[in-house]
Structure 1
Amino acid sequence: MKPVVLLVEDEAPVASLLLEYLASDGFEPVWQASGHAALDWLAHNEAALVLLDLGLPDIPGMEVCRRVRQASGLPIIMLTGRNTEMDRVLGLELGADDYVCKPFSLREVAARVRTVLRRGQPTPVTRETLTLDDDSGRAHVGGRDVQLTVVEFQLLRLMVARPGRLFSRAQLIDGMYADGRVVTERTVDSHIRKIRQKLAVVAPEHEFIQSAYGAGYRFESTPRRNGTVLSAGNTCLV
């Protein structure tokens, strides 16, 4: 069965091109031209992913994203002509999985759809040499125990479950503390630093947590070379 991709885009020429390309690339695209129409469609149908334009005629795409995320964990890729750091951070904090800035290539959009869908596929919680044991609340790297606090384990568990996904600090705070306590974003940075230090003791050849400047963190094991982290992009700043 082909993955259903809901395209929420008010510009008919753009939508037509995307629908044609996605269909030829193995997806089953469905088009809705407004935020209200998209939300109504999702209330009665299922999709594998939402391609969401931010500049909708009725309600803002950010609000559509917020409502979708309140109801489900459905993957969302934002389509935006506003390529500012504030827009990207806000979208990620509302729960978007990725974003594509206009103008974009059809090939790039389809590639990002495939990447995000792969992230959501069920996988065991083991990456490279890192294993997390939910029963004991312990982490193991190459058979060696890593002594993590309860909060550190929960933080790492959240990222490992969605490898490659970029989490904002606000999202990580929500995942770390179930009681809704108020903490600063510096608390997240402090926990990340301690986790990195503990993992580096038992696996100095790997950097397990990558930073995206101004946006947050992702789990993506990367080998080191002479103490330097190697990455296939420009978002890895550690």
Structure 2
Amino acid sequence: MSDQSTVVIIEDESAIAENLIHVLEMDGYHAEWFATAGEGLAFLERNSAALLVLDVGLPDGNGFELCKTIREFSDIPIIFLTARSDEIDRVVGLEIGADDYVTKPFSPREMLARIKLRIKAKTPMKEHKPEPVAVPEQPQLSHDLVAQNFDYGVGGQMLGLTAVEFKILDKLISVSSNVLSREQLMVAADMAPEAAYERNIDTHIKAIRHKLKPFEMSERICTKRGFGYFYCIKGE
């Protein structure tokens, strides 16, 4: 039986308890009834429950004192039930930790409504977490071995780089944000001596940017005027 459906009744008058048990069970609750303070206290020390209906006048003790004892180890909602209607009793009951106060005679249906209200107030509301806003992932470059030639791809679609273009881009990515001179890129690309002139690097950079353009990534190959090139990602 769920703790949130169990109502404990500590009341020495069986007729009152039985009427209350009837309306509770008809509404889907489970009731635990005890005729004495000692029995009710022993149960609450070992078990959890949704709410306690506590009679002030018990054969083995005072409901106010029992409430104080229960409050030392539990914050269970408590509704006092008493034949006394003096204002001072209601005030004392609420001040020592009761949540509500009902005088006899009472309507079982009204008591049920009060019980449901107190249980609802006690039950923590589920925290509403806003749906996470989908943030488009920034395309990430990866390289793979295709037909014996290294290439870079985006989302499984390869760029179709030449061997020299791959080596240049691979070197730029490996030292991301660091500026590399044309000479350094020529060395990294293992360019043949007859092709080893600095402006030839510019042609390869242009070709790489062109192949990155369909993926909106051409701006990642940045130029540092007078120094060379570097690989950059906006926001880094």
- TM normalised by structure 2 equals 0.51
Alignment of 1:91-110 (within 5 A): 91-110=93-112
AA partner of residue 122 (structure 1) = P
> Any idea what the Cα deviations from partners look like across 1:92-144, whole Å, max 9, x if unmatched?
1110000111100000110000000111122489xxxxxxxxxxxxxxxxxxx
AA partner of residue 120 (structure 2) = R
- Which residue of the partner structure matches residue 4 of structure 1? 6
> Any idea what the Cα deviations from partners look like across 1:12-62, whole Å, max 9, x if unmatched?
111111111111112101100000110011111111110001110001011
AA partner of residue 59 (structure 2) = P
- Which residue of the partner structure matches residue 53 of structure 1? 55
Deviating runs (4+, > 2 A) in structure 1?
Answer: none
Taking the aligned partners of 1:82 and 1:124, their CA distance within structure 2 comes to 38
- Which residue of the partner structure matches residue 75 of structure 1? 77
AA partner of residue 69 (structure 1) = R
> Any idea what the Cα deviations from partners look like across 1:136-189, whole Å, max 9, x if unmatched?
xxxxxxxxxxxxxxxxxxxxxxxxxxxxxxxxxxxxxxxxxxxxxxxxxxxxxx
17, 20, 23: which one pairs with 1:18?
A: 20
Alignment of 1:151-162 (within 5 A): none
Structure 1 stretches of 5 or more lacking a match? 126-238
Aligned length: 126
- Which residue of the partner structure matches residue 35 of structure 1? 37
Taking the aligned partners of 1:12 and 1:4, their CA distance within structure 2 comes to 19
AA partner of residue 97 (structure 2) = G
- Which residue of the partner structure matches residue 85 of structure 1? 87
> Any idea what the Cα deviations from partners look like across 1:66-96, whole Å, max 9, x if unmatched?
1111111111000011111100110011100
Taking the aligned partners of 1:37 and 1:68, their CA distance within structure 2 comes to 13
Taking the aligned partners of 2:126 and 2:24, their CA distance within structure 1 comes to 29
Report the identity percentage: 45
AA partner of residue 83 (structure 1) = S
Taking the aligned partners of 1:26 and 1:109, their CA distance within structure 2 comes to 15
Once superposed, what is the RMSD of the aligned Cα atoms? 1.8
Rg (Cα) greater in structure: 2
- TM normalised by structure 1 equals 0.51
- Which residue of the partner structure matches residue 228 of structure 2? none
63, 66, 81: which one pairs with 2:65?
A: 63
Taking the aligned partners of 2:126 and 2:13, their CA distance within structure 1 comes to 41
Distance verdict in 2 for CA 1:39–1:87, change over 3 Å: same
